[in-house]
Amino acid sequence: MSEINIILIRHGEAAQSWGDHPDPDLSEDGFKQAKLLEEHSELQNLHSYEFVSSPKARAKSTAIPLAKKFNKEIIINDVFSEIPSGNIDANEKKQWLTKTMKEDIGNLSKEVMEWRIKILSQVFGMRKDTIIFSHFMVINALVGELAKHPNLLHFYPDYTSLTKISLENGEPKSFSIEGSKKTIINL
């Protein structure tokens, strides 16, 4: 089996915070950030890639400019949606998320643990080069697993930053994190 390349892109800046709106679209800056992805040097040869997005508006809106550039359909996949917060009241979401991000993986709620396992299973089971437009915690769930980090929160991906994962024979081979520093880690 050949090498499979996965690119995760965090959505652009949202118009409202996660705790204030269940599904905000992008802010004006967020739309500009999404448009700038068309010029990103590592996103110029995506003809063979599948385009996948979280169902959330900010992720889908981030995907649209690149999908149009490469004449690609955006496949919506609920697995790559936000971290599930169950019945947490909007006023308590920020506090709940701060606590959950710092939890040891083994102490996560059943709902969050199942969400994490679905993400890992879906990505490590991919058989085609894929670009995924998603969220801060989805990317953390993946990178944390790859880095064998004990908590759900591993790093702070910036808006529209790229995280690249290479798989070989269904096993993670390497990953790189883009941000103020680009880090490549061979596994």
| Pairing mode, strands 171-177 and 130-134 | unpaired
Q: Environment class of residue 1 by beta-carbon count within 10 Å: exposed (0-12), middle (13-18) or buried (19+)? A: exposed
Mean of the pLDDT values across residues 160-173?
A: 93
Domain residue spans of the chain: 3-186
Q: What is the pLDDT of residue 184?
A: 42
* Residue 179, pLDDT score: 66
Q: Tell me the whole-structure pTM to 2 decimals.
A: 0.93
Amino acid 18: pLDDT = 67
Name the least confident of 53-67, 68-82, 90-104. 90-104
Other Cβ atoms within 10 Å of 114 Cβ, number: 12
Q: What is the pLDDT of residue 185?
A: 41
d(CA 104, CA 60): 31
Query: pLDDT digit string (tens) for 97-117?
Result: 889 999 999 999 999 999 999
CATH superfamily assigned to domain 3-186: Phosphoglycerate mutase-like (3.40.50.1240)
**Residue pair 139/58 in contact by the 8 Å Cβ criterion:** no
Is 50 exceeded by the pLDDT of residue 187? no
CB 143 within 8 A of CB 154: yes
Window from 58-67, 106-115, 174-183 with minimum mean pLDDT:
174-183
Residue 38 pLDDT > 50 = yes
Q: What is the pLDDT of residue 14?
A: 93
Confidence of residue 85 (pLDDT cuts 50, 70, 90): confident
CA 27/CA 29 separation, integer angstroms: 5
In the block, tokens 């709620």 appear at 109
Higher pLDDT: 93 or 119? It is: 119
